[in-house]
Structure 1
Amino acid sequence: MNEMVAAVLAKTTTLKLASSARILVVEDDGDIAAMLTDLLRAHGFEASSAPNGREMDRLLLRHSFDLILLDGMLPGEDGFSICRRLRGSGQIPILMLTALQEDIDKVLGLELGADDYVTKPFNSRELIARIKNILRRSTSPEETDVNLLPMTFSGWKIDPRSRELYDADGAQVSMTTAEFDLLWAFCCHPNKVLTREQLLAMTHAGSAGPIERSIDAHISRIRQKIEPNLKEPTFIKTVRLGGYLFASKVEPVG
């Protein structure tokens, strides 16, 4: 089942925010699931729900979704495990919904590949804003500014139009929406110290974003994908009391 789901997710292309955007709510509490699907439909989204990971897998095999709203505390396979599994097989955006209040739990979800999180009890307007923000940042290739050119750094190639990253051997490297946005921001400002506040502003379009530590979590995941030595990063360097610096020559392609 997991291999079949992985094949489906690998072919999933996230669409730009539209009234037809499809959202899958994975929540075991029936009342909360019903409330969430009603809320989403009231804001123009198509919404379905699943009470657990098994039912989620069945729905993913039958339908394509533009975002998964995933509860962290599920019976059986919990939301954090599901997040790790989904991120290992595709790039569909994931918004974690959890009752856990500790920052360490929130950051854990982001480190596992979630694009954002909302804690229970949540504000409906904030939830919808975060969903719209994730979908807006997950622009499809044909709707991206055609004037943006791909860039290269140390043999790597990053393409903002297709939102794809390729290593020096030409192999595509899977990136979440947040990871791609951060790496693109670095490539647009090479060899310049960027604070966490600046990075949040660049990657969340001015809307409410996750805590600043989420930047650290996403950068940790990017480093795992592009750095030859995690103990001594050569691309994304930490600047004490400053933020981060992308230490590489970046050139446009074409």
Structure 2
Amino acid sequence: MKKRILVIEDDENIRDVCRRYMEREGYEVLMAADGREGSEMFQAHETDLVVVDVMLPGKDGYQICQDIRQQADTPIIILTARGDERDRLMGLTLGADDYLTKPFSPRELILRIHNILRRVSVFKSADSHEQGVLDFGRVAVDLSMRRVMVAGHPVELTAKEFEVLCVMARRPGQVFSKGQLLDLVWGYDKDVNTSAVTVLIRRLREKIEKNPSQPTFIRTVWGIGYRFEPNGELGR
């Protein structure tokens, strides 16, 4: 089946370019010209990936990211004309998987879409073949169901959050640099700042740690990166 992509962009020229390039690559494309229409289309159609502009009439891209993350882990790429890193990090904090700054190359957008969908497919395939639960006491990762339990309660993670947690939890004690996590989870590191990893790790800690400011499961190895501590529960 064709992968379906929803493009939410108020610039007609950009929408048209995105549609032509995506359809050329075999994707089915849904288009929305403002935030409210985009939200309605997301609700009405099963979507494999969303491309959304930050500055939209009706409802901005940040709000759309937030709304999507409250109900699904559908990958999101945000488009922004803003050069300020704080604006890009805001999108990542709200659950976006990647970003492109305008003006951007349509080929670069297609490459990022390919990489994200390929990574999601690889992780889902690996999880379906690797059955069982990685149980670390307070935190448990159900690989086949792609579900995380914290203190016996389900916790909603985005696709990227789940993938990063799985990469680290499958190799407890191993230290991963930010560059390694970018390569393993994002699939590339071109133009993707390691701050994306920092933001994602912070979100993960907020969801699984008792005290995110003093994490016991996802530990920082200063000057190198991060490691998953299998005995994190004992740290409290």
Same fold (TM over 0.5): yes
* 1:221 correspondence with 2:203: yes
Deviation for aligned residue 1:105: 1.4
2:185 aligns with 203
The alpha-carbon distance between structure 1 residues 56 and 246, as it changes in their structure 2 partners (threshold 3 A), is same
The alpha-carbon distance between structure 1 residues 88 and 212, as it changes in their structure 2 partners (threshold 3 A), is same
Structure 1 unaligned residues grouped into runs of 5+:
1-17
Which one has more relative contact order, counting CA pairs under 8 Å at least 6 apart? 1
Deviation for aligned residue 1:140: 8.5
> 1:60-71 maps to which residues of 2 (within 5 A)?
60-71=42-53
Matches of 1:144 and 1:245 in 2, distance apart?
A: 21
The alpha-carbon distance between structure 1 residues 143 and 225, as it changes in their structure 2 partners (threshold 3 A), is same
Matches of 1:192 and 1:243 in 2, distance apart?
A: 10
Matches of 2:42 and 2:190 in 1, distance apart?
A: 29
Deviation for aligned residue 1:201: 1.8
Residue of 92, 97, 101 corresponding to 1:110: 92
2:148 aligns with 165
2:105 aligns with 123
* 1:87 correspondence with 2:69: yes
Matches of 1:106 and 1:74 in 2, distance apart?
A: 15
Alpha carbon RMSD of aligned pairs, Å? 2.1
2:7 aligns with 25
* 1:154 correspondence with 2:123: no
Deviation for aligned residue 1:46: 0.2
Deviation for aligned residue 1:249: 3.9
Residue of 192, 195, 212 corresponding to 1:230: 212
How many correspondences in the alignment?
231
Aligned residues of 1:141 and 1:163 also touching (Cα < 8 A): no
Matches of 1:94 and 1:143 in 2, distance apart?
A: 20
Matches of 1:104 and 1:245 in 2, distance apart?
A: 26
Matches of 1:35 and 1:237 in 2, distance apart?
A: 43
The TM-score normalised by the length of structure 2 is 0.89
Matches of 2:9 and 2:139 in 1, distance apart?
A: 39
Structure 2 unaligned residues grouped into runs of 5+:
none
**Which amino acid is the alignment partner of residue 142 of structure 2?**
D
Aligned residues of 1:141 and 1:162 also touching (Cα < 8 A): no
Deviation for aligned residue 1:93: 1.2
Aligned residues of 1:191 and 1:246 also touching (Cα < 8 A): yes
* 1:176 correspondence with 2:135: no
SS in 2 for 1:68: strand
Instruction: Give the fraction of aligned pairs with identical amino acids, expressed as a percent.
Output: 38
